[in-house]
Amino acid sequence: MATAQVQSVLPDRIRLPFAFDPAPLVADVAALERGDFTTHFVQQNFEGDWSALPLRAAASARHPIQMIYSPPDETAFVDTPWRARMPALSAVLRAFRCPVRSARLMRLAAGSVIKEHRDLDLDVAEGFARIHVAVVTNADVDFRLNGTRVAMAPGEAWYLRLADPHSVVNGGTTPRIHLVMDVVVDDWLLRQLGG
């Protein structure tokens, strides 16, 4: 089935058939320093503190800001030195048998907001998908996709059609940290999505 046909029947969110032990993922993140993260470059899309740390990035990227973005026309991606320091998160990346273009930890500090926006190239119909694996979260994180809440527990993996309107409010007192992967849609991924 062509990706455009699959997209038309897929829901905007799918919990994938993976369950990662959150404790080792949290241990990887706990070894980081706050200064290791780079402030997100699209500052009009958030209020507060939203930052990222790249584990896999475009091969041509040299600046930390370039390393947290996955250009649609880029074809070569490489692991960053950070990935070697994070064995549990690396194991999550290896579990995905589709091509992983980029991967990064996305940190939304307590009290921060990601305003509603769309990432137009992140649609199965375009051949790319974004996967979120929750690492650290709290009950007061409100992730909305098409106006409806998506509750993601630590260790869960989710496909989210982020070409649609989405936003996040971290109303808690702790940061929300997700492993975010931009992947190529292939037959393996379509099977995980139920397509």
Determine how many CB atoms are found less than 10 A away from the CB of residue 171: 13
Least confident of 1-10, 17-26, 59-68, 113-122: 1-10
Paired tokens of 23: 């404790």
Cα 131 to its chain centre, rounded Å, is: 5
Q: What is the DSSP string of 119-155?
A: -TT-SGGGTEEEEEEEEE--TTEEEEETTEE----TT
First-to-final CA distance of the chain: 8
Q: Contact at 8 Å (CB) between 20 and 133?
A: yes
pLDDT of residue 133: 98
Q: What is the pLDDT of residues 14-58, one digit of tens each?
A: 999 999 999 999 999 998 876 688 888 667 778 899 999 999 988
38 or 112: which leads in pLDDT: 112
pLDDT of residue 195: 63
